[in-house]
């Protein structure tokens, strides 16, 4: 709702009240319509100020309303009524003015912002465009190039940048509402015609066609199949080329298409899923709201390889004191240089001073005696990690949290080697750790809720999408990746090429297909794991039996490439070839194709035609099926956890919402039917065997994704 007061005798003050972000719900819109009407009809009121309660102007339209029958006054006429008012209306912007919130402010005649405010039109990240006149007013106010940038990226600008761009008229460090009231008094009675943005022509832009052509190309490339960024460009083009009324009509048409699209649903689901994962819960019943994190002032990182360096940077950038430990002197010196460089580059990008003094380097593990939390990032070797954990238990003060950055080892086993297993959790970062958004916080049966709460809070402080998951082989992300990669190998055996598989996955929206990704991360990584599992066999045995290992279908293709020294980009050869070791442009490799031909001949495999649909169904449904196993096992608390992991850490296209959301969109019955189909064709592939949870969900009528939690609970109670 909106509250109305008269202040300084002749200023009508309208305050938006809808905690926590003053979203423009039906009640708020009705409140604005009523209070504006009241202010305009009050002869004592000379000007009007609109502000938001609790230090935030407005977080935009109420996204929760989008999936219901929207009632209440629509935004467009409401904003028009403000713009057409015959008394000056001033927006007092504190906190955020986003989406519909900024569109409301653009309908006002003046905008005053606090210096800490952030403004933006982030609709594109929800699969929409600024459709309350934002796509038509912003280009008229700040010019086409700047508006295109803001609207197609959805980025938030600071008050200083907003002032420079001309979005706001004044920035204050003091009380914004008081400044706006003072300003409103000073402009009372002035002509408002020049202040009505919709009546402005769009600023002239030379070579408009070339500009739009260039931006459209750039957007298409980075959008990876997302439709909203394209619609945003089209809407701004309408602003630049059409009179306002026609531009608004185009904005409406484009929005109508986006609003009902699956992509908008997926992106809005992601918005809420990212917030839902913060409300973590463990099978023991421990939860985010009943578990208090310990304060962390000082942290340590043990092992300064690639991961340890990135983790040190991520920690230091939050303002923590960090002790960075590496026992080898040469490694330590190299790490110090690399970490300082990363901190300097990061600080430059953010316009702040680098936290170089925040990191203390040491060769001695004793240096971590008084830290609150340690993250171990030594080589992936259980004996080495166990030794480090035992040393840490002896050295650290009581209560220090011991975290491991393992991506594959058993967190419970490590915990059991320490006297205080309740203090042990996994913090699984993704490389490069200071850049990648995802953090899996892995708890074991003995991890204390406080340890999980502390790691989750630290992850949030580092700006990570932090997801609490149970302990199992590969945790959530890598466990689901395994069947995905295996299916890709099987497809090669059956006649596909790395190019075909990658193209199908990239057209789906992944930034990189499975083979390009494997070349980037290094084929030797998986080889080492398979060797450890006893799957790699030397020799050139042929036939079907050579491809059945440990009772299930196995493709040795990756092992054979590694035996040839083809580890991917780092050796200049992998599934593709590269100009030189370390270069990134993947090129078709004739060697690989004759190798595949020879391999198939040796194993009596006849290549058949494989289309994109089969690639997608086999790779993605195998991955999704593992996701259902993970839910059934209670390793992930809900589908949102899995989806946030895949979108933030594994390149799953955000506009497809994550693997579990995608399954929900495709239809659970269809996913089940296709898995059954492929399982019949490949009975020796256990990961194509549909999970019992998937079967049970289909049998119970395929509830929508937001009801899976309830359904799983019910199904489990019936077991």
Ligand X SMILES: CCCCCCCC/C=C\C=C\CC(=O)SCCNC(=O)CCNC(=O)[C@H](O)C(C)(C)COP(=O)(O)OP(=O)(O)OC[C@H]1O[C@@H](n2cnc3c(N)ncnc32)[C@H](O)[C@@H]1OP(=O)(O)O
Residues in a beta bridge with 549: 552
676: Cα within 13 Å, side-chain hemisphere: 9
- Nearer to ligand X by Cβ, of 354 and 658: the residue is 658
- The token pair at 138 is 């912003």
Q: CB of 28: closest distance to ligand X in angstroms?
A: 11
- With residue 662 as reference, give the H or E element that holds it: helix 659-666
Element (H, E) at 308: helix 306-316
Nearer to ligand X, 288 or 621 (CB): 288
Query: For the stretch 580-605, what's the b/e string if a residue is b when 16 or more beta carbons lie within 10 angstroms of its beta carbon?
Result: eeeeeebeebeebeebbeebbeebeb
Beta partners for residue 118, in sequence order: 96, 158
CB closest to ligand X, residue no? 99
Q: Kindly state the smallest distance separating residue 26's Cβ from ligand X, in Å.
A: 11
Name the minimum Å distance from CB 93 to ligand X: 12
Of 268 and 569, CB closest to ligand X? 268
Least spacing, CB of residue 635 vs ligand X, in Å: 23
Cβ 278 to ligand X shortest distance, Å: 7
Q: What is the 3-state secondary structure (H, E, C) of 213-246?
A: HHHHHHHHHHHCCCCHHHHHHHHHHHHHHCCHHH
* 334 noted as active-site residue: no
**Burial classification of residue 176, based on how many CB atoms lie within 10 Å of its CB (0-12 exposed, 13-18 middle, 19 or more buried):** buried
List phi, psi (to 5°) of 365. -65, -20
Indicate the residue among 267 and 562 with the shorter CB distance to ligand X.
267
Positions touching ligand X (CB under 6 A) are 20-21, 23, 59-64, 75, 96, 98-100, 122-123, 126, 128, 131-132, 255-256, 259, 272, 275
Q: How far is the CB of 22 from ligand X (least distance, A)?
A: 9
Distance, in Å, from the CA atom of 109 to the CA atom of 128, rounded to the nearest integer, reads 25
Length of the chain: 719
Of 3, 9, 83, 123, the catalytic one is 123
Cα 277 to Cα 641: distance, rounded to the nearest angstrom = 6
Shortest approach of ligand X to residue 160 CB, angstroms? 18
Residue number with CB closer to ligand X (50 or 414): 50
- Residue nearer to ligand X on the CB measure, 272 or 591: 272
Closer to ligand X by Cβ: residue 255 or 668: 255
Task: Check 103, 251, 494, 617 and give the catalytic one.
Answer: 103
Comparing CB distances to ligand X, the nearer of 13 and 131 is: 131
Task: Record the tokens describing residue 276, joined without a space.
Answer: 């839902």
Residue 138 DSSP SS3: helix
Based on the residue annotation, tell me whether 344 is a catalytic residue of this protein: no
Longest CA–CA span in the chain (Å) reads 94
The CA–CA distances, whole Å, from 393 to 365, 458, 471 equal: 11, 21, 21
Helix runs in 495-634, H state only? 498-508, 514-521, 523-532, 557-563, 590-602, 612-633
| Nearest distance in Å: CB 668, ligand X | 26
CA 138 to chain centre: 27
Annotated catalytic sites, by residue? 103, 123
């Amino acid at each position: 709702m909106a509250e109305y007061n008269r202040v300084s005798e002749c200023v009508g003050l309208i305050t938006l009240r809808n905690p926590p972000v003053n979203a423009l719900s039906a009640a708020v819109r009705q409140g604005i319509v009523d209070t504006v009407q009241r202010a305009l009809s009050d002869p004592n009121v000379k000007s009007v100020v609109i502000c938001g309660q609790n230090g935030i102007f407005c977080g935009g339209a109420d996204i929760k309303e989008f999936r219901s029958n929207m009632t209440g006054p629509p935004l467009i006429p409401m904003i028009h009524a403000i713009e057409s008012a015959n008394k000056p209306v001033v927006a007092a912007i504190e906190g955020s003015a986003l989406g519909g919130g900024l569109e409301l402010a653009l309908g006002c005649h003046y905008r005053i912002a606090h210096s800490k405010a952030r403004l933006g039109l982030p609709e594109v990240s929800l699969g929409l465009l600024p459709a309350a006149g934002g796509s038509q007013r912003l280009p008229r106010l700040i010019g086409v190039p700047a508006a295109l940038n803001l609207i197609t990226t959805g980025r938030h600008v600071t008050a200083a940048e907003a002032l420079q761009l001309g979005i706001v008229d004044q920035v204050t460090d003091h009380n914004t509402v008081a400044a706006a009231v003072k300003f409103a008094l000073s402009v009372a009675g002035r002509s408002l015609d020049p202040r009505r943005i919709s009546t402005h022509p769009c600023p002239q832009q030379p070579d408009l066609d070339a500009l739009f052509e260039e931006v459209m190309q750039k957007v298409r490339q980075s959008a990876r199949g997302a439709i909203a960024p394209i619609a945003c460009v089209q809407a701004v083009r309408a602003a630049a080329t059409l009179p306002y009324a026609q531009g608004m009509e185009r904005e409406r048409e484009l929005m109508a298409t986006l609003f009902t699209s699956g992509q908008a649903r997926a992106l809005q689901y992601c918005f809420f899923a990212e917030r839902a994962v913060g409300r973590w819960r463990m099978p023991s019943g421990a939860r985010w709201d009943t578990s208090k994190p310990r304060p962390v002032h000082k942290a340590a990182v043990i092992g300064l390889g690639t991961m340890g360096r990135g983790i040190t940077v991520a920690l230091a950038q939050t303002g923590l004191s960090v002790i960075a430990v590496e026992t080898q002197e040469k490694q330590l010196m190299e790490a110090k240089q690399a970490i300082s460089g990363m901190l300097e580059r990061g600080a430059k990008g953010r316009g702040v001073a680098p936290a170089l003094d925040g990191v203390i380097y040491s060769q001695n593990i004793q240096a971590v005696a008084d830290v609150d939390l340690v993250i171990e990032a030594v080589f992936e070797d259980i004996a080495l990690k166990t030794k480090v954990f035992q040393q840490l238990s002896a050295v650290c003060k009581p209560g220090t949290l011991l975290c491991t950055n393992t991506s594959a080892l058993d967190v419970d086993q490590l915990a059991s080697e320490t006297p205080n297993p309740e203090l042990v959790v996994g913090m699984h970062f993704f490389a490069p750790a200071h850049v990648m958004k995802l953090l899996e916080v892995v708890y074991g049966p003995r991890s204390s809720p406080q340890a999980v709460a502390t790691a989750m809070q630290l992850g949030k402080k580092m700006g990570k999408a932090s997801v609490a998951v149970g302990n199992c082989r590969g945790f959530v992300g890598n466990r689901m990746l395994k069947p995905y990669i295996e299916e890709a190998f099987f497809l090669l055996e059956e006649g596909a090429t790395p190019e075909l598989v990658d193209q199908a996955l990239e057209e789906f929206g992944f930034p990189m297909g499975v083979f390009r990704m494997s070349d980037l991360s290094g084929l030797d990584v998986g080889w080492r794991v398979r060797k450890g599992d006893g799957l790699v066999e030397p020799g050139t045995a042929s036939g079907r039996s050579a491809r059945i290992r440990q009772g299930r279908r196995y493709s040795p293709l990756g092992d054979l490439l590694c035996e040839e020294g083809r580890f991917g980009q780092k050796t200049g050869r992998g599934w593709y070839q590269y100009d030189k070791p370390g270069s990134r442009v993947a090129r078709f490799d004739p060697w690989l194709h004759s190798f595949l031909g020879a391999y198939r001949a040796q194993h009596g495999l006849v290549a058949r035609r494989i289309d994109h649909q089969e690639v997608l169904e086999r790779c993605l449904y195998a991955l999704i099926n593992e996701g259902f196993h993970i839910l059934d096992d209670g390793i992930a608390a809900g589908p949102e956890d899995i989806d946030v992991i895949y979108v933030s850490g594994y390149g799953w296209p955000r506009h497809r919402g994550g693997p579990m959301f995608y399954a929900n969109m495709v239809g659970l019955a269809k996913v089940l039917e296709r898995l059954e189909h492929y399982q019949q064709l490949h009975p020796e592939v256990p990961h194509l065997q549909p999970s019992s949870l998937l079967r049970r969900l289909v049998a119970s009528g395929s509830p929508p994704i937001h009801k899976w939690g309830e359904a799983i609970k019910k199904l489990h109670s019936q077991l």
